Amino acid sequence: MNTPPAVLEAKNLIVNYKQHCAIDSLNLRVPKGCVYALLGGNGAGKTTTISTFLTFNSPISGAVLIEGESPHANPDLVRAKIAYLPENVALYEMMSGVENLTFFCTLAGITITREQAQQLLAESGLQDDAHGKRVSMYSKGMRQKVGLAIASAKHAKAMLLDEPTSGLDPSAANDFAQRIRTAADNGMAVLMATHDLFNAKQVADRIGIMKSGRLVEEFDAHTVQHDELEQKYLAHARGLA
């Protein structure tokens, strides 16, 4: 079977942060249509990995690649091909969901009508009566859906998520996971850093466990059982593996 080309790839990646080796010889790949969930405790290197794809950190050696090209050599790649959803999506509080979406599209050089903005928000799961309300009235889950709409409008090749379900109630987390799954099924590559084992098992195709900057185990999410994943995760967290 031919291996599909990677949209996101880390190759022998080494990154230092404050004179500490934050990423140690990391190799991972995320092809089109794949959700890759990166698990690990605080300080494992998950956020640093995502930050390096976004060019917030520079490699000591090795590389991150977006469709085979280095974003550090061509930073415009990040803006053109990647959507980023942090734990807390930064939106303008006094603007509505439609206005935020339209504004961020304009920054990306994309022109959309109000009707197109409403359609994108609806497809991302934001209820119709919230489209015109100020973001200051939104829950965290609603803000995340505006972020998804921005990613859809950009026609991003890949999405980077950092703890996207942190602070969401179970219903909102499940809904968000389904939206991410739909984005991948439509061809987007998704790299998601999370502590949430249940969400990772629910939405991901591949799961990796990081510890001390190293990728210590990888799983096919469709074949690993939740109990097995939990045991492996805890064994690494407790220094037993």
- 3-state secondary structure at position 137: helix
Question: In this structure, what token pair is assigned to residue 229?
Answer: 């994943």
Residue 165 · residue 176 · CB < 8 Å:
yes
Q: What pLDDT was estimated at residue 173?
A: 83
pLDDT tens digits in sequence order for the chain, 241 residues long: 567 889 999 999 999 988 888 999 999 999 999 999 999 888 889 999 999 999 999 999 999 999 999 999 988 877 788 888 888 888 999 999 999 999 988 888 888 999 999 999 998 889 999 999 999 999 988 998 998 898 888 888 999 999 888 877 888 888 888 888 988 998 999 999 988 888 888 899 999 999 999 999 999 998 988 888 889 888 888 877 6
Residue 59 · residue 52 · CB < 8 Å:
yes
Question: In this structure, what token pair is assigned to residue 235?
Answer: 């064994």
State the total domains in the chain. 1
For helices 140-154 and 114-123, angle between their N-to-C axes, nearest 10 degrees: 120
Q: What pLDDT was estimated at residue 1?
A: 54
Q: Is residue 26 part of a domain?
A: yes
Q: Could you tell me the CATH number of the domain that includes residue 66? A: 3.40.50.300
H or E, element range at 180: helix 170-185
DSSP state of 135: G
Q: φ, ψ for residue 192 (rounded to 5)? A: -125, 120
Q: Is residue 126 part of a domain?
A: yes
Q: Is residue 192 part of a domain?
A: yes
Beta bridge partners of 21: 16
CB-count burial class (<10 Å; 0-12, 13-18, 19+) for 17: middle
What predicted TM-score, i.e. pTM, was given to this entire model? Answer: 0.90
For 33, left (φ over 0), alpha (ψ -120 to 50), or beta?
left
Q: Is residue 63 part of a domain?
A: yes
Give rounded-to-5 percent helix, strand, coil for the chain.
40, 25, 35
Q: Is residue 42 part of a domain?
A: yes
For residue 189, what are the domain limits? 6-237
Q: Is residue 1 part of a domain?
A: no
